Structure 1
Amino acid sequence: MKINALSINRISTFIITLLMYSSNCNAQLNILDIGFILTDVSDDGTIAVGHNNAEHFIWTEANGVNLIGGVEPSFYGGQTRINGDGTIIAGTRINPSNSLGELSSYDVDTQAWTSYGSLGFSSQGSASSAWGISSDGSTIVGLGWFSSGSAHAIKWTADGGLEDLGSTVPGQSTRANAVNNDGSVIGGWQDNSDGIRQGAIWTNGVQTLLTHSNNNPAAEVGTLSDDGLWAGGGGQSPTNEFQAWKWSQSSGIINIGPSPVSGWRGTTTGLSSDGEIAVGYYRQWPGPAAFGRGFIHTESEGLVDLTDYAISVGIDVQGAILALPLGLSDDGSTVVGVTNNGRGFIFRLPLLGVEDNVFDDFSLYPNPAKDILNFQIPEHLNIDRVSIFSAIGQKVNDYDTLQSINVSSLSTGLYFVRIQSGKTVWIKRFSKL
């Protein structure tokens, strides 16, 4: 892939940052065996889940891969998903009572599966399938067949059981792909009257269809931020150059691009809890998805190639391309997905997810900040350096003041304050308005 001058400049800056502050860089890459596909990760990035085209599995750095049963998504539908604290996994499995694939959950502590039924119909052995789970574990969403040829978006809760979210277009199908922290916002798609799959949001059961600024239908919603304010998806129209995008009610669709290769199509597959950080990929269409290029995006840095970024922070990518990011931890620290040679990867980003609160009586305010960011630091601490970094590791500036700094010149987005006292480092996030 051709790298433009801006990307080279960013990568060079990342390398310089790494050399100067290597003791603070916690970047790490784990690559699994061929055929083990990672699709989701816990809030803090320590537990990942996926499938091996036969059953689901759970991964931790300490224990590696542990197969847990269930069925392959390619035939029965669905994705392997995990709740925030890593205690519940959502997926599709064969219900032993009827031999049909159903939306189900797996309790990590008891190692037991539970299936939650269907809308009363099935198609080729599949009655329902799980595609997403809320961070609090209370809601699982997916697809249920309501006739032999049509399906509806569904959600399951312990209190309400299985609920049909219906369709706003008579006779057409829908599906739920993602759900926010408490289950109040669900994202997916609605088939419109001419069969085009359009992005949809259900807020407390009420559907909103997503469109671009020119009123062309947006493609399906594949991910939601934990707070439910942001959705992410992919381009299906040449008028927006098939760009990946993220959406909020207040902003409408914001394109994430342009594509690194003319004609490639992009999609956003993961968002941090507040929507500040997005991951996804661009790929040739038609063509194998694994031949694409993954990206990470923030408002302050724009779109950065994920493989180039990994190399820039000292990661040995083992000759692989981080082609298909499929999940991002809510804290923004960890990306999971698939390499170009069909191997699952877990990429822990530098700085992100690291907050060392050894200085209990340290604070910074206001947060978010617009102009002045104030510090409250105990007088007995001998502070060597105060630095600000962008969301993906680029150093913005060093400061010699310990009371306040002017951040008005920074672009809107997520940043880190890094404070060093001897060998001790303290990192705190803040948002620039």
Structure 2
Amino acid sequence: MKRNILVISRIVTFIIILFMYSNNCSAQLIILEPGLILTDVSNDGSIAVGHNNMENFIWTEANGVTFIGGVEPSFYGGQTKINGNGSLVAATRINPSNNLGELSSYDITNQTWTSHGSLGSSSQGSASSAWAISSDGSTIVGLGWVNAGSAHAIKWTEVSGIEDLGSTVSGQSTRANAVNNDGSVIGGWQDNSDGIRQGAIWTNGVQTLLTHSNNDPAAEVGTLSDDGLWAGGGGQGSANNFQAWKWSQSTGIINIGPSPVNGWRGTTTGLSSDGEIAVGYYRQWPGPAAFGRGFIHTESEGLVDLTDYAISLDIDVQGAILALPLGLSDDGSTIVGVTNNGSGFIFRLPLLGVEDHVFDSFSFYPNPVTNVLTFLNPEGIKIDTVSILSVTGQKINEFDTLQNINVSSLSTGLYFIRIQSGKNVYIKQFSKL
């Protein structure tokens, strides 16, 4: 029951985000110049980071793109990531003391880089690379070379420095791709003896390998929820027809699909703070990643094409396809990634600005409901419209006066009441039994 309540609560938050355009606060799609690739975003969506295959950059709405140095991931490895409050960037840069690419961090306030070391070896100019940073900024994870042909997942903290997470298969490589809020849970991959790259979770340093229900290995983990209870990944595995997925200890693999095109492969690249909202993409394999289709997924609505969703919000996508979502803010309000023409995008869904005091005395009952919803408006608030909405935002009914509503014809499920009073909007969920 507690889990169900949490699911409904997060869905409500998500839907309220979706309906922000109804309060003169439009959904926003910002598309950067081609070649500016966005890979992560702060908890509230206000700061995004990425690279241009030469160096890293920070983006804010006020200042646009600010380049900060570092090196391109395509040669040195890694991803450009940002911590929760937007103060610290994790990326790879050349350590000036040894001229090797190393896992590093950039302090946005002080505008300074710090290299954090390696496992003592290197391969083709790379000693280590940064792939993720914890929301609290305490932990950076990635890959460190143990010899020229083998690498291990690594973890850096201020207290312990670089730690080797090792490999449970002798002579095989591992990598850390994701980390939860406080660094206690890390996600990535473990190479098996047969060459298959299997999804792995390290909880306080102890590795768990992920499998599908038939015990075939799951693909690598690419993202974790902040609470560390959910992982997301995909990209390989005929066991689930190459679908994107999310995983928890209690549920196992939950497929996110099916693919919009037969034969395409999917992966989950971002999760909200508790794992209820997921973003990712499906794409042809083999083939350019930017020719894929991005998606957004909730437990109630399933998979929704991200470009189609943007268009449904009356957003001008400028002819672009939101092909590769690569990051999702913890609050679920902002998605960043790459369009089909190689431009970074910020798809922002700011929270609805509801003036709660206007509706302090307003309510309805019963909830859950079987037949009739009854409304209480003791202060006589002037009501412009009353609407019943599906969880996808489609209008089912609309009334221009406040009246009791017979909902007996609705199918069992979750719905929303939306009431407009001037510029003020009241949105609450209700369950139809």
TM-score normalised per structure 1: 0.85
Q: Secondary structure, in 3 states, of the residue corresponding to 2:381?
A: coil
Check 1:167–1:25 CA distance in 2 against 1; reply closer, same or farther (3 A cut).
Answer: same
Instruction: Give, in whole Å, the separation in 2 of the partners of 1:204 and 1:220.
Output: 19
What is the CA-CA distance between 1:426 and the residue it aligns to?
A: 5.0
User: What letter corresponds to residue 271 of structure 1 in structure 2?
Assistant: L
Return the match for 1:353 from 344, 351, 354.
Answer: 351
Match of 1:410 in 2: 413
Instruction: Give, in whole Å, the separation in 2 of the partners of 1:170 and 1:340.
Output: 40
Match of 1:160 in 2: 160
User: What letter corresponds to residue 204 of structure 1 in structure 2?
Assistant: N
Alignment partner of 1:236 is 2:236: yes
Instruction: Give, in whole Å, the separation in 2 of the partners of 1:209 and 1:194.
Output: 15
What is the CA-CA distance between 1:23 and the residue it aligns to?
A: 3.5
Check 1:284–1:309 CA distance in 2 against 1; reply closer, same or farther (3 A cut).
Answer: same
Match of 2:181 in 1: 181
User: What letter corresponds to residue 317 of structure 1 in structure 2?
Assistant: V
Q: Secondary structure, in 3 states, of the residue corresponding to 2:135?
A: coil
Instruction: Give, in whole Å, the separation in 1 of the partners of 2:228 and 2:382.
Output: 39
Match of 2:147 in 1: 147
Match of 2:12 in 1: none
Instruction: Give, in whole Å, the separation in 2 of the partners of 1:376 and 1:45.
Output: 36
Q: Secondary structure, in 3 states, of the residue corresponding to 2:413?
A: coil
User: What letter corresponds to residue 132 of structure 2 in structure 1?
Assistant: G
User: What letter corresponds to residue 60 of structure 2 in structure 1?
Assistant: T
Match of 2:303 in 1: 303
Q: Secondary structure, in 3 states, of the residue corresponding to 2:290?
A: helix
- Higher alpha-carbon Rg: 2
Match of 2:314 in 1: 314
User: What letter corresponds to residue 410 of structure 1 in structure 2?
Assistant: G
Q: Secondary structure, in 3 states, of the residue corresponding to 1:146?
A: strand
Contact 2:358 2:424 in 1 (8 A): no
Greater shift, 241-250 or 353-362, is seen at 353-362
Question: How many corresponding residue pairs?
Answer: 407
Instruction: Give, in whole Å, the separation in 1 of the partners of 2:117 and 2:380.
Output: 59
Instruction: Give, in whole Å, the separation in 2 of the partners of 1:64 and 1:105.
Output: 21
Check 1:375–1:207 CA distance in 2 against 1; reply closer, same or farther (3 A cut).
Answer: farther
What is the CA-CA distance between 1:77 and the residue it aligns to?
A: 0.4
Match of 1:201 in 2: 201
Match of 2:85 in 1: 85
What is the CA-CA distance between 1:380 and the residue it aligns to?
A: 4.4
What is the CA-CA distance between 1:22 and the residue it aligns to?
A: 3.9
Alignment partner of 1:382 is 2:385: no
Q: Secondary structure, in 3 states, of the residue corresponding to 1:31?
A: strand
Contact 1:266 1:282 in 2 (8 A): yes
User: What letter corresponds to residue 359 of structure 1 in structure 2?
Assistant: H
Superposed CA offset, 1:106-136 (max 9, x none): 1111111111000101111111100001111
Instruction: Give, in whole Å, the separation in 1 of the partners of 2:74 and 2:47.
Output: 23
Instruction: Give, in whole Å, the separation in 1 of the partners of 2:162 and 2:345.
Output: 33
Match of 2:39 in 1: 39
What is the CA-CA distance between 1:159 and the residue it aligns to?
A: 1.6
Check 1:229–1:364 CA distance in 2 against 1; reply closer, same or farther (3 A cut).
Answer: farther
Instruction: Give, in whole Å, the separation in 1 of the partners of 2:180 and 2:187.
Output: 9
Alignment partner of 1:220 is 2:215: no
Contact 1:26 1:348 in 2 (8 A): no
Instruction: Give, in whole Å, the separation in 2 of the partners of 1:163 and 1:377.
Output: 60
Check 1:387–1:68 CA distance in 2 against 1; reply closer, same or farther (3 A cut).
Answer: farther
Instruction: Give, in whole Å, the separation in 1 of the partners of 2:430 and 2:101.
Output: 45
Q: Secondary structure, in 3 states, of the residue corresponding to 1:262?
A: coil
Check 1:291–1:386 CA distance in 2 against 1; reply closer, same or farther (3 A cut).
Answer: same
What 5-or-longer segments of structure 1 have no aligned partner? 1-13
Contact 2:180 2:224 in 1 (8 A): yes
Contact 1:355 1:427 in 2 (8 A): no
User: What letter corresponds to residue 413 of structure 2 in structure 1?
Assistant: L
User: What letter corresponds to residue 164 of structure 2 in structure 1?
Assistant: D
Check 1:242–1:55 CA distance in 2 against 1; reply closer, same or farther (3 A cut).
Answer: same
Contact 1:363 1:375 in 2 (8 A): no
User: What letter corresponds to residue 231 of structure 1 in structure 2?
Assistant: A
What is the CA-CA distance between 1:85 and the residue it aligns to?
A: 1.1
Instruction: Give, in whole Å, the separation in 1 of the partners of 2:72 and 2:327.
Output: 18
Match of 1:107 in 2: 107
Check 1:375–1:45 CA distance in 2 against 1; reply closer, same or farther (3 A cut).
Answer: farther
User: What letter corresponds to residue 85 of structure 2 in structure 1?
Assistant: D
Match of 1:192 in 2: 192
What 5-or-longer segments of structure 2 have no aligned partner? 1-14
Contact 1:389 1:416 in 2 (8 A): yes
Identity %: 76
Check 1:307–1:161 CA distance in 2 against 1; reply closer, same or farther (3 A cut).
Answer: same
Superposed CA offset, 1:168-205 (max 9, x none): 11111111101111111111000111111000011111
Instruction: Give, in whole Å, the separation in 2 of the partners of 1:101 and 1:375.
Output: 64
Check 1:152–1:423 CA distance in 2 against 1; reply closer, same or farther (3 A cut).
Answer: same
Q: CA RMSD in A?
A: 3.3
Contact 1:359 1:426 in 2 (8 A): no
Instruction: Give, in whole Å, the separation in 2 of the partners of 1:81 and 1:291.
Output: 23
Check 1:168–1:299 CA distance in 2 against 1; reply closer, same or farther (3 A cut).
Answer: same
What is the CA-CA distance between 1:319 and the residue it aligns to?
A: 1.1
Check 1:157–1:396 CA distance in 2 against 1; reply closer, same or farther (3 A cut).
Answer: farther
Match of 2:248 in 1: 248
User: What letter corresponds to residue 336 of structure 1 in structure 2?
Assistant: V
Instruction: Give, in whole Å, the separation in 2 of the partners of 1:192 and 1:364.
Output: 59
Instruction: Give, in whole Å, the separation in 2 of the partners of 1:224 and 1:376.
Output: 41
Q: Secondary structure, in 3 states, of the residue corresponding to 1:359?
A: helix
Match of 2:128 in 1: 128
